[in-house]
Each structure stands twice: as structure tokens, then as C-alpha cells.
Amino acid sequence: MTAYDRLTARFARIATIQEAAAMLGWDAAAMMPPGGGAARGDQLAVLAGLAHGLLVAPEVADDLAAAEADPPHDDPWHAANLRLMRHAHTRAAALPGRLVEAQARENSACEKVWREARAQSDFAAVRPYLATVVGLVREQADALAPRLGLTPYDALMDGYQRGIGAADVAPVFAAYETFLADALPRAEARQAARPAPLRPAGPFPVAAQEALCRRLSARLGLDFTHARLDRSAHPFSGGTPTDVRITTRYDPADFAQAVLGVVHETGHALYERGLPAAHARQPVGEAAGMAAHESQSLIIEMQAARSDAFLAWLGPELLGAFGGDPAPYAPANLGRLWRRVERGFIRVDADEMTYPAHVILRFRLEQALIGGDLAVADLPGAWNDGLRALLGVTPPDDARGCLQDIHWYDGGFGYFPSYTMGAMAAAQLMAAARRAVTGLDAALAEGDAAPLVGWLRAQVHAKGSLLGFQDLLRAATGKPLDPGDFEAHLTARYLT
């Protein structure tokens, strides 16, 4: 075996361990009884330690050096895979094994306490656990930063989206904040001048919602011989490319949360299913980062499923599932209902115009937490002050404030910017898809997402991590990330 062959075999083994951890993580969120939490934390810690040990073994450095000394001249996939292997090794070698295992264990413990704390709106209950998680994340960031040549916070961002740092994100967010200050009151005024949308009358049986969600996901292209739909406290997509797990949550009084959540997670799942099988379990065969991933969920949910065309097909499907007065299911009414701007407290329920404000808030707070400028004990007050400054509303309790998201309580710092970068990329990709795919909206009006998904398969999914985020956008749209496309989309949908 060549040095590169040994590396691919090792990385495949590491990926298989990580797949097992992903399944245990899915089970913890969707199926595990509460009493299994402590043992699950130990299991995840051991798997994290095994994967880390394989990656930092001394022979890996030798094989990387040997493979880099004889680089490929005609195989871009090979070359990209080798670069990504080096990057993964650099990150892993910066972290001691005891820290990797401690983070897996403490993240799991904190996440379990967070579930109950959110249900009781009791930040004090989870505060010491979060303080431990934040302390470990700071240690992680401080260890990574010098090895990567980045700031500590950028080193965390690098773990989710390579090549995008705070200095790239901050001016984009500042410009959007200026746009929002003008656009939001205009959109609210335009909305107020129109008839209020009719809300479908419930209750909506959970079994009927679940059946509809499964049909809708399959209609969008998800193959359930390689996927599952389950329930969790926080909707997510997980699993592996050949065994995708998506979840949502159901409210008998409002089906929209479940339906739109499943559409969003289906976008993630379609990306995973479309990754290049020839490079499975290799770094180059993985998704191109979390901003890229969010672009794929949001192009399906926000750009396609909330379009006039798709709503024309979806309205009758909803009526058939739930019955009652047909008026609320008319496409024009669904458009007013699901494209309604509102200054709310909850990120996952936010409209696409105010959603970036929720991300901007988290981006600023997590930088302060990691930098030591904000104490964990002061998080609730800082959260409330920040949301009031951005949207003019103050959460009435911590469940609708700093307890609403799982990310920090599970150790996920540096992730949030990916949501809005992904939303901007989704608008850019959709504009390019409409230019490239004849009859795209006509197909959506028939409930047929295949032309859009087919274009995404070729332009995004099948390329794995061959290209970085910006180069992926350049190849698909002719330019790097351009926030102007997102603002143009919002202007067309909400202000004209």
C-alpha cells in the first residue's frame, strides 16, 4: 500500500467510528430513555477518543509527509482529499485526547440537563453545566488557534465552515442590520395594509401530521429506504449518507412547525444522500461545510417550498390531510401566512427577513462568551438586551430566550453564522437555478422538485468537499457569496 492508500484506509475507519457516534447521538435525541444519559455520554466519549487517537497516531504524520512529497498531478479529488486530511490532522493534533473525551462527555451531560431546563424555563439549573462546556470550548479554541493561524473564535468557526471567519461575517451582518432597519418597517406596513391571513382551525392530529410530513419529504425526493423520520425536542438531520435520520416536533394546534421543519431537514438529508459515493468516508466526500449545508436546507424550505408555485400544489395537499374550511389553504392565503414578517422571540419560528437578526445576536454573544467578555451567569440579560436592540422585543422568559437552542448546551460554538451565510447562498443558488433550469417554477407548481434537486445534485451535492464554500458558489453561480442576491430576494417577496 502507498502512503495515500494507508491514509484513505485510516480515514475510512475514523469515519465509521464517527458514523456510530452519529447514530448514538440521533438515538439520544429521538429514542433514548432519560435514564440512559450518563452511559450515553461515556459511550460518545470513548468513540470520540478512539477516532481522535487514530487521527493523531505518529504514523499518520509520516504518511501525510510521504503522500505530500509525491502529490498527484491529474486527480483533483485525490489532491483535495490529501489537503483535507492534512487539515483534519492539524486540528486533531492540537487537541489532547483527554480534552476530546471530556468535551464529548460534558456536552452530552449538559444537553440532557438543558432539555429539562428549557421545559421549566430554568436557566439556573443548567448554568453550571454550560459553564463547564464553555470552559472546555475555550480550552479547545485556545489550543487550535496557534496551530491554524487563526483567532480562537475563528478556529471554532473553521470546524463548521472552512475559509469563513468573523472578519468575513461581521461586515455582512452589519450591512444586513442596516438593510433590516429600513426593510422591516416597510414590510410590516405593506403587510398591515393587506387582509390578515386566515389560520387553519385545528386540532391537527399528530398522526395525520406525521403521515403528511413523510409523504411531503418523499415527494421532495427523499428515499425512505435510506432514511427515517422521527420526533425530537429540536428538529435536526443526522445519521449517515446511506442512513439519514431527520426529526421534527409536532403541535396539535399548529401543523406548520412540523411541516416546514420536515421540509427544511429534508433539504439537509437530500444533500447527504447526494454526496459522491465514490468518495464515501473520505474528507473530500463530505459536505462542503455547514454554510453549504444550510444553503441546501433553505433553498428547499424558503426558496422552493414557500414559493407561490409550490404553495399552489401544497394547499390542496394540506386540505386533504386535515379537512375543514378550504379558505385557509388557498395558495394566496398560505403565502400571507407563511411569508409573514414578525418580530418574534424564537429563531426556528422566525420569518426569513428577521431570522438573520437572531443569528447576529448569537454570533455576537458567542464571541463574547469565548473571548471571556461575557460570563455565563450574565447570558440571559445580555440575550434579552441584544434581541431588544435588534428587533425591539424582549423574551418574557428564558425558555424563549437563551434556552431555546440546543447548540451551545451541546458544545456547538461557531456554528450559528452558517445559518445566515447559508440563507444568502440559497438565494444566490436559486437565482442561478432559475436561469439554468427551464420550467423550474412550472414543475414546482406540480409539486415536482426533481428539476431543482437535479440541478443541486450536479452543482453542489456531487462535488462533496472538492471545492471550498466560495469556489463552490463561483462554479455554480459565477461569483462568490453575494449578499445582494438575498436582499433582492427579500425585496421582491416582501416589498414589491
**CA 466 to chain centroid:** 20
d(C-alpha 85, C-alpha 90), whole Å = 9
Grid cell for residue 244? 439519514
The answer on pLDDT for 39 being more than 90 is yes
Residues 6+ apart with CB under 8 A from 411: 103, 106, 107, 110, 133, 136, 137
Q: Average pLDDT in the 118-130 region?
A: 98
469: nearest Cα among 411, 430, 413, 429: 429
Q: For cell 495515500, what's the residue?
A: 4
d(CA 103, CA 140): 9
Residue 53 has what pLDDT?
Answer: 95
Amino acid (1-letter code) at residue 471: D
User: Residue 162: which residues within 8 A CB-CB, separation 6 or more?
Assistant: 87, 289, 468, 469
- Please compute Rg for the chain using Cα positions: 22
Look at residue 401 and give its three-state secondary structure.
Answer: coil
Single out the residue of 417, 306, 428 nearest to residue 355, CA to CA.
417
DSSP secondary structure, 414-479, as one string: S-THHHHHHHHHHHHHHHHHHHHSTTHHHHHTTT--HHHHHHHHHHTGGGTTSS-HHHHHHHHHSS
> What SS3 state is found at 80?
helix
Percentage of the chain lying above the pLDDT 70 cut: 100
- Cβ 139 vs Cβ 99: under 8 Å: yes
| Edge-to-edge strand ranges of the sheet holding 237-240 | 227-231, 243-248, 237-240
C-alpha cell at 440: 423550474
Banded model confidence at residue 240, pLDDT cuts 50, 70, 90: very high
Give the separation between CA 1 and CA 108, rounded to whole angstroms: 39
What's the whole-number mean pLDDT along residues 435-454? 97
Q: Is 464 left (phi over 0), alpha (psi -120 to 50) or beta?
A: left
How far apart are the two ends of the chain, measured CA to CA in Å?
62
Average pLDDT over residues 189-206: 95
Pinpoint the alpha helices (H) of 149-255.
152-158, 166-192, 206-219
Mean local confidence (pLDDT), 273-291:
98
Residue 464: its pLDDT value, please? Answer: 98
pLDDT value at 114 more than 80: yes
pLDDT in tens, 128-146: 999 999 999 999 999 999 9
> Average pLDDT, stretch 358-378?
98
The answer to whether residues 110 and 123 touch, using CB atoms and an 8 Å cutoff, is: no
pTM, full prediction: 0.93
Euclidean distance between CA atoms 78 and 91, whole angstroms: 20
pLDDT band at 348 (very low <50, low <70, confident <90, very high): confident
pLDDT category, 256, cuts 50, 70, 90? Answer: very high
Give exposure, 409-420, as e/b (b: 16+ Cβ within 10 Å): bbbbbbbbbbbb
Residue 80 and residue 285: Cα distance in Å, rounded?
Answer: 10
Q: How many CB atoms lie within 10 A of CB 211?
A: 12
pLDDT at res. 457: 98
Residue 72: is its pLDDT beyond 80? no
Query: In whole angstroms, what is the distance from residue 392 CA to residue 383 CA?
Result: 12
CA angle 262, 268, 273 (to 5 degrees): 115
Q: What are the residue numbers of the active site?
A: 265
Q: How confident is the model at residue 24 (pLDDT cuts 50, 70, 90)?
A: very high
Question: From the CB of residue 349, how many other CB atoms can be counted at a distance below 10 Å?
Answer: 16
Given a cut of 80, whether residue 73 has pLDDT beyond it is no
3-state helix, strand, coil in the chain (%, to 5): 70, 5, 25
Residue 349 has pLDDT above 90, yes or no: no
Grid cell for residue 405: 437552542
In angstroms, rounded to a whole number, what is the distance separating the alpha carbons of residues 338 and 303? 12
Q: Average model confidence (pLDDT) for the chain?
A: 96
Task: Give residue-wise pLDDT tens across range 376-413.
Answer: 999 999 999 999 999 999 999 999 999 999 999 999 99
User: Of 96, 112, 94, nearest to 48 (Cα)?
Assistant: 96
Amino acid 364: pLDDT: 98
373: pLDDT strictly greater than 90: yes
Please say whether the beta carbons of 384 and 397 come within 8 A: no
Name the residue among 87, 90, 106 with its Cα closest to residue 98.
106
User: In 3-state terms, what secondary structure has residue 367?
Assistant: helix
Question: What single-letter DSSP state applies at residue 199?
Answer: P
